[in-house]
Structure 1
Amino acid sequence: MTDNATIKPTTRISKVWVIPILALLVGAWMVYYQWQNQGPLITIEMSSASGIEINKTPIKVRDLEVGQVKKIELKPELDGVIVTARLEKSAARLLNENTRFWLVAPRVSFSEVSGLNTLLSGSFIAMTAEPGETELDHFVALERPPVTPPGTPGLHVKLSSATDDLTYKPGDTIIYKGFKVGEFEEVNFDVDLGKIEYRAFIHAPYHKLIDESTRFWNVSGVKLQLASNGLTIQTGSLETLLANGVTFGNPQGDAKGKPIEKNASFIIYGDYDAAADERFGYAAQYVLLIDESVRGLTVGAPVEYRGLQIGKVAAINSDQIELGSLLDDAYPIPVLLNIYPGKARLEDSEEGLTFLRNRLSRWIHKDLRATLRMGNVLTGGLYVDLQHVEQPKATRKLQVNGIDVIPTVSSEFTQLTQKADAILDKMNALPLEALIEDITNVVATLKAAAKSVDATSQKFDKTISAFDTDKLNGQIQHSLNAFEELLQHYSEGGLSKAEIAETVDSLQETLRSVQPLLMQLNRTPNGLIFSDNAEINIQPRVKENNQ
């Protein structure tokens, strides 16, 4: 009898599969652990990928590696690259609105030398570690490293220029009384507002000097001021001589304000005077109608009264004042003035402003006039001088667009120019052609007279040369000898002086006795022949006095 084999299906798993299953479980656990503990994936917009390598370039915070570059691709607009990086999970809390990324590479410029340590280690992407409120995963990298290292104690502020000609770049200094206390970090241009904004940092403990009343002003380069007391030169520090810079403070007369918060905004003024003017909250506006040239007058030029500044020029030919077209006949150029009661030793309040308006209104009606004067001979800059004029021309109260007008008088230079023009006009009115013709005739007559004198002189010379000088000298000598003999005869035996006098007296007596006869002959020439017709000549006699 044969036994039949019984075939039964097996349900046992081979031990060979234990190892692959364990490897699969370990791999799945590792994937889960990696997925569970991996950090966020972020994207960073950069201008170029210079110095960046995939899976090699690290991302560091305070020189600690917290991520790595995983991907680099071009932006859709082809104006840069997008770098994709994976950060560690511990660094996820650092990704907020205050986070900044930048490429650290060797950099040498006028204002800095940085990143030299990457010459051997290679470039890397650095990021800041600052707390924030909003989580982000997309960032725009900075073009250059921030000036202030992250975590530096101090205060960040926002600055903007009061004028378009004040521009600064990252790294420019902020000084206080000659000490460097901060620097500009970022520069942004608002296209919509057409305004440049700056982000600056003030180091501790100098940030405690800034309050709500603080003003910032420019101290770049060298400022020359030529005044009556001489030449004044103002400079900031060595940094501001080589590059731009600003300073800050509370202008004289300002009380200390309240402390400020982080990222408070301030305006950078052109100089200290412009910053100090901003502390005045009240100003009276007036307008000048200038008939002459305003070349040399600028916005911000001082308005002075008796040599003291009480205001400034707010606008020149402003659109706020409508007077027609500049090409119209007799178009006056409007100049808008701001006069501050605070600068006139009045209260900076509504009461002070009202008092200032009332006083100036009376003066304008009486004799207050405005004149453009030259404040600096070298630059030709003008300022507005308010003065009381003797016997001014009568004027009525005038307003333009609701703003009172201060009458003007010509400046001294303009008056001199007008007088010179009047003199030139009179000279032009002279009959110069007839005068020149008369002068030509006189000159010709003088030339003819000169020729005649020259001919006469030549004839005289010939006449003089014809004289026999030797013979003339001999005759003169002979006359002198004869005169000498006469004098000698007189001194040796001739008539004496007494005898000559006696002879002269006798001659005079004879003439007196003959005088009646001569008179008779003068009346009757025939008296000597016909004596009967002789008239009796009665001679008056002097009455004799009885003794």
Structure 2
Amino acid sequence: MTQLQSAKVSRIRQLSPIWVVPIAAVLIGIWMLYNHYQQQGALLTLLTADAEGIVAGKTQIKSRSVDVGQVVSVELSTDLKQVIIKARMKPSIAPLLNKDSQFWVVKPQVGRGGITGLNTLLSGVYIELQPGESKQQQLQHKLLDTPPVAPADAPGIRVRLIAADSGGLAVGDPVLYRGYDVGTVEYSEFDLASRRTEYQLYIREPFDVLVSENVRFWLSSGFSLDLSAEGLQVDVGSATTLLSGGVSFDLMQGWPAGAMIRDGTEFQLFPNKQSVQEGLYSEFVEYLLFFDESVRGLKAGAPVEYRGVRVGTVASVPFFFSIDKPFEVSLQQGIPVLIRVEAGRLYENLSLQQLRKELEIAVQRGMHAALKTGNLLTGALYIDLDINQDNTIDIEQQALQAQQLALSQSAGYPMLPTARSGLSNIEQKVLMALEKINNLPVEQLLEQSDQTMQSADSLLQNATKMVTQLEALVSNPQVQQLPAQLQLSLQQLQQMLAGLSPGSAAYDSLNGNLQTLDQVLRELQPVLQTLNQQSNALVFEANIAADPQPKRAKQ
């Protein structure tokens, strides 16, 4: 029988080569996991009110048509007030995810600039990334409702406009300089605190040098029609403004350009170019007028002229803000109207102190205001200033002007005398004429007219008697025989003249006698010439003058 021996076990102190395989697999897995997270890039969060068209795992994020990320989840917030979109960006895009970056959804849209985003009809919507210039990284942004007009780093300048009325200006409307498109309206916002609208304009390079501190901005409507006291004004813009409107800017005539501005400079937006001109006259002297006639057709902004030259503007019609008992004032003193005489309309470098002094002198010389019709079609009125050398007024007018002066001084304004316009003067004269006619002694005139009619009736009766007597005279037989006797006398006269006609004996005898007389006169002519030359030729023999002899010419 054999004897079993126990095996001798000894521990191997070296690792088996078989462990190389799992260790390598673990290392490869760790490297692949690290590489996977390194290739994923940053996780971007976008907030929006509506995620229409955005699909997790499908919607791409692009920048200049290059894929830079993909949406991985679309979820509602806990309060259900907004949508949270998470997107995985490529690692190389991390520097573009800064504080100024902007994101918006690109989809088919029809706007004032035409139809955009047609390429998304087949591929689906996508999110566009527009990077900013900030160095601070930010991974949470708000998704814009509309795409920005220009990139944040686009060369040019941006200005802010403030307007009391929006006037229909919208994002995307053009910015014009003398009719040429130089920029775009980027966004508009209504401020509830100030109750005004704010706009941001982008003016691209190289037109940004046109924007200086003295330029003025106004709304450019495609077509404007103004029928006022100054006449009919028609303004037709370009084809772009006819369809969509816009905003224009320019320097006013005679103004210097001024210094260049910085980004974000604030300007006022005027409703039209005419209001810009009106806003240039910031220095003025105000006067209070009282009219005892209708002011229908006179509106704020109407011109104030001096003999056809505009010198001011009507500020308020009627002006009741600083006057107590306005209705009583209108009945007794007249309707108050506040006007402004603007220094800039007269001549340059005219101070308000000098303007007040010149106006006081003009009032002392008889300057007054009157309502005039500026447009017969609309009935628009304007105020005309003139100097009347004849300052004579009656006692009632003096008392009325004293009351008006006291009322204007209590309101804090100087008073300017008024006079009725031409039509009102004519109306007043017609009323005075009618009043004079009413005061005429009509009854006395009627009695005198009755007496005159009786006298005329008596005269007509006498004339009838005279006609009757004439008819009796004409019907008298002796008067009727007169034409026959006149006819007989005419026949006898004709017979007598027929005896003296050519061919009759009397005519031939008279013609022969005249010829004989002519012959005798011819024969007496030499005798008369001789007696004319020598009066004593009938007593003494007349000397016969020798015939004249021609003289010989001198040698």
Asked if these proteins are the same fold (TM beyond 0.5), I'd say yes
**Contact (CA 8 Å) 2:46, 2:143: kept in 1 or not?**
yes
Q: Say which is worse superposed, 288-297 or 225-234, in terms of deviation.
A: 225-234
Which residue of 2 is the match for residue 388 of structure 1? 387
Q: Say which is worse superposed, 197-206 or 378-387, in terms of deviation.
A: 378-387
1:155-304 pair list within 5 angstroms: 155-161=157-163, 163-164=164-165, 166-224=167-225, 232-289=233-290, 294-304=295-305
With over 3 angstroms needed to count, the CA separation of the structure-2 counterparts of 1:412 and 1:84, relative to structure 1, is farther
**Contact (CA 8 Å) 2:229, 2:373: kept in 1 or not?**
no
With over 3 angstroms needed to count, the CA separation of the structure-2 counterparts of 1:279 and 1:386, relative to structure 1, is same
Q: Say which is worse superposed, 207-216 or 166-175, in terms of deviation.
A: 166-175
Correspondence for 2:342 among 340, 343, 355? 340
Q: 1:384-432 deviations in whole A, cap 9, x for unaligned?
A: 33333442655455435533343444444555666778899999999xx
Q: Distance in 1 between matches of 2:437 and 2:135?
A: 84
With over 3 angstroms needed to count, the CA separation of the structure-2 counterparts of 1:140 and 1:374, relative to structure 1, is farther
Question: 1:370 corresponds to which letter in structure 2?
Answer: A
Task: Give the match's secondary structure for 1:360.
Answer: helix
Q: 1:265-317 deviations in whole A, cap 9, x for unaligned?
A: 22222333322344445333444455655554444333333322233344556
Question: 1:120 corresponds to which letter in structure 2?
Answer: L
Correspondence for 2:414 among 400, 404, 416? 404
**How many pairs does the alignment contain?**
439
Task: Give the match's secondary structure for 2:361.
Answer: helix
Correspondence for 2:116 among 98, 111, 114? 114
Q: 1:159-203 deviations in whole A, cap 9, x for unaligned?
A: 233x52623112222222232222222121112211111122223
**Contact (CA 8 Å) 1:254, 1:279: kept in 2 or not?**
no
Shift of 1:114: 1.0
Q: Distance in 2 between matches of 1:9 and 1:420?
A: 143
Q: Say which is worse superposed, 85-94 or 413-422, in terms of deviation.
A: 413-422
Task: Give the match's secondary structure for 2:324.
Answer: coil
Which residue of 1 is the match for residue 472 of structure 2? none
Q: Distance in 2 between matches of 1:339 and 1:133?
A: 56
Shift of 1:209: 1.2
**Aligned residues: percent identity?**
35
Q: Say which is worse superposed, 43-52 or 293-302, in terms of deviation.
A: 293-302
**Contact (CA 8 Å) 1:371, 1:408: kept in 2 or not?**
yes
Shift of 1:6: 5.7
Task: Give the match's secondary structure for 1:359.
Answer: helix
Q: Distance in 2 between matches of 1:200 and 1:83?
A: 31
With over 3 angstroms needed to count, the CA separation of the structure-2 counterparts of 1:42 and 1:22, relative to structure 1, is same
Which residue of 1 is the match for residue 324 of structure 2? 324
Which residue of 1 is the match for residue 311 of structure 2? 310
Which residue of 1 is the match for residue 75 of structure 2? 73
Shift of 1:58: 1.6
Task: Give the match's secondary structure for 1:141.
Answer: strand
Shift of 1:214: 0.6
Q: Distance in 2 between matches of 1:413 and 1:198?
A: 49
**Contact (CA 8 Å) 2:98, 2:138: kept in 1 or not?**
yes
With over 3 angstroms needed to count, the CA separation of the structure-2 counterparts of 1:74 and 1:208, relative to structure 1, is same
Task: Give the match's secondary structure for 2:274.
Answer: helix
Which residue of 2 is the match for residue 142 of structure 1? 144
1:119-130 pair list within 5 angstroms: 119-130=121-132
Correspondence for 1:103 among 89, 102, 105? 105
Which residue of 2 is the match for residue 132 of structure 1? 134
Q: 1:305-337 deviations in whole A, cap 9, x for unaligned?
A: 332223334455678x42236556637665444
Shift of 1:367: 2.7
**Contact (CA 8 Å) 1:96, 1:132: kept in 2 or not?**
yes
Shift of 1:151: 5.2
Shift of 1:149: 5.8
Which residue of 2 is the match for residue 370 of structure 1? 369
Q: Distance in 2 between matches of 1:335 and 1:86?
A: 70
With over 3 angstroms needed to count, the CA separation of the structure-2 counterparts of 1:287 and 1:6, relative to structure 1, is farther
Shift of 1:235: 1.7
Q: Distance in 2 between matches of 1:8 and 1:417?
A: 142
Q: Say which is worse superposed, 380-389 or 200-209, in terms of deviation.
A: 380-389
Q: 1:25-47 deviations in whole A, cap 9, x for unaligned?
A: 44444444555665444433334
With over 3 angstroms needed to count, the CA separation of the structure-2 counterparts of 1:483 and 1:386, relative to structure 1, is closer
Task: Give the match's secondary structure for 2:241.
Answer: helix
Shift of 1:130: 2.9
Shift of 1:205: 1.9
TM-score by length of 1: 0.67
CA RMSD between the two structures:
4.3
Shift of 1:115: 1.0
Q: Distance in 1 between matches of 2:117 and 2:362?
A: 68
Task: Give the match's secondary structure for 1:362.
Answer: helix
Q: Which runs of 5+ in 1 are unaligned?
A: 431-437, 439-475, 492-547
**Contact (CA 8 Å) 2:227, 2:378: kept in 1 or not?**
no
With over 3 angstroms needed to count, the CA separation of the structure-2 counterparts of 1:72 and 1:336, relative to structure 1, is farther
Task: Give the match's secondary structure for 1:363.
Answer: helix
